[in-house]
Amino acid sequence: MSIRFLIANRVPLRNLIYFVVLAVVSACVSVQDETSVTPDSIGPKQGMLVLVIDTNTSFQRLKFKRPGDVFSTVATMNVLQGRTVRFISIPPGTYYWDRFEFATLINYATYVNFTNGKSQLAFTVKPGTISYPGDLYIQSHEDGYDVRLLDHAAMLLSDLNGQQRELIRKYGISYTGNGRDRFYSYYYSLKQPAPTGKK
């Protein structure tokens, strides 16, 4: 199902900086860059999110919220066109994708809100393991954007690098998006070799 969002809003950069700082303080969400994640970086009071973005447009920031939060929190930055896989350390709980922002222009930042994020872009993060909520699909069109979560659980296994495969081997992975998907349980029940993918 496709969700269309019309572009866009602009806010002064000085206000944006204030909102970002306040959002981090109020949300208390610790987001860790995927390049610094090691197999020992996830604990029982933390979870790990597989963030897969499939987009035909580049943007500077992707943000999420938890129900009840006033401001959104930065999940990742500097997203390029194409399909990317990133692992981020994040506290367990329920979240939803809220908005993405383009690079700042002069004193303004342009952003696109996901108005139906709570109902159709929601996901959970489980403690002590790796959660995959589906690919975040963002495609731009002449009159706006199509944004949705797509369950590509099997495709993900072929896109992993060595460090990511090791994380899944150690902590396990489960689908935590809308609906049910038992692919990972079935896949590992076959006792196949660990996921293979990019070197």
User: For the chain, how big is the Rg over CA atoms in Å?
Assistant: 17
Read off the pLDDT of residues 168-198 as tens digits, 9 standing for 90 and up.
988 999 999 887 777 777 677 665 555 555 5
Q: pLDDT confidence of 102, banded at 50, 70, 90?
A: confident
Spatial separation of the C-alpha atoms in residues 116 and 51, rounded to whole Å: 19
Which residue(s) pair with 175 in the sheet?
132
Residue scoring higher pLDDT (152 or 14): 152
Read off the pLDDT of residues 119-133 as tens digits, 9 standing for 90 and up.
889 999 999 999 999
Spatial separation of the C-alpha atoms in residues 165 and 58, rounded to whole Å: 26
Q: What is the mean pLDDT of residues 52-75?
A: 91
- Considering the chain, what is the average pLDDT of its residues? 76
Is residue 99 within a helix (H) or strand (E), and if so which, with residue range?
A: strand 93-101
What is the reported pTM? 0.74
Predicted local confidence at residue 184, as pLDDT: 78
Is residue 62 within a helix (H) or strand (E), and if so which, with residue range?
A: strand 59-65
Predicted local confidence at residue 127, as pLDDT: 94
The pairing of strands 144-150 and 135-141 is: antiparallel
